[in-house]
Amino acid sequence: MQIILDTDETWSLMSLITSYVIDNSGVSPDGKQRVRAWRTARPVGSVQMEELAATMNGALGGYIVERTTRTIRQSGRYQRSKAGKR
């Protein structure tokens, strides 16, 4: 399985997560202001947003590879093996 987010999808996900943090967490007012400033510094189409999208895609890909298992035939029988290890 492969998931790749484009910058618009990444921006939407970032906005959703930061809004949740601001509204529902126990972050101090100063912390909320820092989260807002961090989000504002990453508008759609900016270099920072492109970097965030690449980083998120790398993290998602790594997580999927780590969690994916495959069945392989070894020594005449089938065994479960992590996809990342060979």
Q: What is the pLDDT of residue 59?
A: 93
Q: What is the pLDDT of residue 3?
A: 84
Q: Which tens digit of pLDDT belongs to each residue from 11-38?
A: 999 999 999 999 998 899 999 999 999 9
- Domain positions in the chain are 7-82
Cα separation, 10 vs 43, in Å, equals 11
Report the candidate in 84, 38, 28 with the shortest Cα–Cα distance to residue 61. 84
User: Would you say 11 and 42 are in contact if contact means Cβ atoms under 8 Å apart?
Assistant: yes
pLDDT at 84 > cutoff 60: no
pLDDT at 50 > cutoff 80: yes
Cα separation, 11 vs 17, in Å, equals 10
